[in-house]
């Protein structure tokens, strides 16, 4: 019996121990594809995140480089690079994974288990034929890239299955500055000047026109502004959006919409700088008890984070779409019929409005509208249809 036990023990050591060691050193491999619902992977991170730790300046620079490398891999449709990017991300306690949710495929940047510091979760869709800058800073051609083809399903929307059509993104990356932490540089100054001149000549971008801008959906207060994470996730899954960013720590621990030195802000900057044009739609919620000066009939308020939001054509177009199913009195625009909740201190809005030619849309929803979104399938369908 002793003689027979030794070969068996040796056999088990060869088979089992290497996997145990590998699992202990690197619990997630970028080459793996995880099959699970998108909502599950989001809940896993949120459930384990109890606090927020602001990254250092050095960590923010590293994250900007990681995000830029990830965008290069996605834009070039070369996901073989994810292993090396995952190794870089692990230095900051993050990991890059490939996720399959039914027929939909995602690239996810999230914090590793036991390394949760409230850094947020960042979800991207793979795209192909992307255009990126060459060594001399110019882009390789002007043809827009095309998303991976998906089947189209007519409304009403199936909220458990993505309903996306083939889309085309304008993905000519913008000239990058090596400085990702806000310090001025000649290239950055030149880029700001170019952006300002573009803002004066280019027509306003349409929120549902995927050909003019990649779209980023954000929910920075998902655990405080109830149901905004759920709403943002459904809008992302059922529209042409390229990415979905969400907080993981509670707002009281770390307010990502007002924290300049966060991974959430640095990744937003990196994505907006990378693509030729970006549209950032950010969902928030408010309580009528805390904002008694707002007319009770109003249930949704739009702004772009600036004091002159009421002048913006894109906000008026969105308003008209919501008026069709919510009614005229239910829709507000900051400084037009509402003097609060304009997102004027929002750091993502400030960066986009001051340093780029991209578009930021701040969406505030009342408690009643968020509850109606959950209960009423017609409201959900029409709400998502606005952003398709």
pLDDT tens-place string over residues 114-135: 888 889 999 999 874 444 433 3
Six-digit token string for 104: 């939909």
pLDDT, position 158: 34
Which one, of 359, 273, 348, 354, lies nearest residue 67 by Cα? 273
pLDDT tens readout for residues 275-315: 888 999 999 999 887 877 898 899 999 999 998 888 889 99
pLDDT, position 4: 52
Percent helix, strand, coil in the chain (nearest 5)? Answer: 40, 20, 45
248, 46 Cβ separation under 8 angstroms: yes
pLDDT tens readout for residues 4-48: 555 544 444 444 433 333 333 333 334 578 898 998 988 888 777
The radius of gyration computed from the CA coordinates of the chain, to the nearest angstrom, equals: 22
Any idea where the domains of the chain sit in the sequence?
27-386
Q: What is the 3-state secondary structure (H, E, C) of 17-72?
A: HHHHHHHHHCCCCCCCEEECCHHHHHHHHHHHCCCCCCCCHHHHHHHHHHHHHHHH
Beta-bridge partner residues of 246: 121, 219
pLDDT, position 251: 67
137, 172 Cβ separation under 8 angstroms: no
pLDDT, position 172: 45
* Residue 83: cis peptide before it, omega within 30 degrees of 0: no
pLDDT, position 53: 92
In what side-by-side order are the strands of the sheet with 94-101? 33-35, 94-101, 104-111, 121-124, 243-246, 214-219, 278-286, 359-366, 300-303, 331-333
Number of neighbours of residue 305 by Cβ within 10 angstroms: 25
Which one, of 178, 374, 180, 185, lies nearest residue 268 by Cα? 180
User: Is a pLDDT exceeding 70 seen at residue 185?
Assistant: no
Least confident of 172-176, 183-187, 221-225: 183-187
Which residue has 């190794």 as its token pair?
87
Instruction: Identify the DSSP state of 140.
Output: S
Distance in Å from the first CA to the final CA of the chain = 69
State the Cα torsion 275-165-128-191 to the nearest 10°: -10
d(C-alpha 339, C-alpha 343), whole Å: 11
CA count, 13 A, side-chain hemisphere, 272: 29
What DSSP string runs through 253-305?
T--TTS-SSSHHHHHHHHHHHHSS-EEEEEEEEE-TTT-TTS-TT--EEEE-S
pLDDT tens readout for residues 314-373: 999 999 999 999 999 999 999 998 989 888 999 999 999 987 679 999 999 999 999 999
Which residue has 């692990």 as its token pair?
90
pLDDT, position 143: 28
Under the banding of pLDDT at 50, 70 and 90, the label for residue 157 is: very low
pLDDT tens readout for residues 194-221: 333 333 333 333 333 333 479 999 999 8
Number of neighbours of residue 376 by Cβ within 10 angstroms: 13
pLDDT, position 321: 96
The whole-model pTM stands at 0.74
pLDDT tens readout for residues 44-66: 887 777 788 999 999 999 999 99
156, 381 Cβ separation under 8 angstroms: yes
pLDDT, position 356: 64
User: Is a pLDDT exceeding 70 seen at residue 260?
Assistant: yes
Which residue has 């994505």 as its token pair?
271
């Amino acid at each position: 019996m002793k003689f027979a036990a030794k070969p068996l023990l040796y056999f088990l050591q060869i088979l089992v121990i290497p996997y145990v060691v590998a699992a202990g050193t690197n619990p997630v491999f970028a080459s793996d594809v995880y099959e699970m619902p998108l909502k599950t992977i989001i809940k896993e991170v949120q459930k384990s995140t109890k606090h927020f730790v602001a990254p250092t300046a050095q960590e923010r620079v590293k994250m900007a480089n990681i995000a830029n490398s990830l965008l290069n891999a996605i834009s070039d449709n070369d996901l073989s690079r994810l292993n090396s990017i995952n190794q870089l991300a692990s230095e900051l306690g993050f990991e890059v994974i490939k996720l399959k949710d039914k027929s939909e495929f995602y690239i996810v940047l999230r914090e590793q288990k036991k390394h949760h510091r409230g850094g947020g979760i960042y979800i991207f869709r793979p795209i192909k034929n992307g255009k990126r800058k060459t060594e001399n800073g110019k882009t390789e051609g002007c043809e827009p890239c095309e998303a991976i083809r998906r089947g189209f399903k007519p409304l009403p929307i199936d909220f458990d299955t993505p309903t996306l059509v083939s889309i085309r993104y304008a993905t000519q990356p913008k000239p990058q500055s090596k400085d990702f932490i806000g310090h001025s540089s000649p290239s950055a100054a030149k880029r700001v000047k170019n952006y300002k001149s573009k803002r004066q000549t280019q027509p306003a971008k349409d929120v549902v026109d995927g050909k003019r801008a990649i779209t980023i959906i954000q929910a920075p207060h998902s655990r405080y502004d109830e149901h905004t994470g759920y709403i943002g996730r459904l809008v992302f899954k059922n529209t042409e959006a390229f990415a979905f960013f969400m907080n993981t720590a509670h707002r009281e621990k770390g307010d990502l919409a007002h924290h300049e030195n966060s991974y959430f802000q640095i990744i937003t900057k990196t994505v907006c700088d990378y693509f030729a044009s970006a549209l950032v739609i950010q969902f928030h919620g408010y309580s009528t008890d805390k904002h008694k000066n707002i007319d009770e009939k109003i249930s949704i308020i739009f702004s772009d984070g600036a004091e002159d939001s009421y002048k913006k054509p894109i906000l008026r177009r969105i308003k008209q779409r919501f008026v069709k199913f919510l009614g005229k009195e239910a829709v507000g625009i900051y400084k037009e019929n509402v003097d609060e909740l304009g997102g004027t201190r929002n750091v993502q809005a400030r960066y986009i409005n001051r340093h780029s030619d991209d578009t930021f849309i701040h969406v505030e929803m009342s408690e009643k509208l968020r509850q109606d979104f959950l209960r009423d399938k017609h409201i959900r369908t029409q709400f998502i249809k606005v952003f398709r």
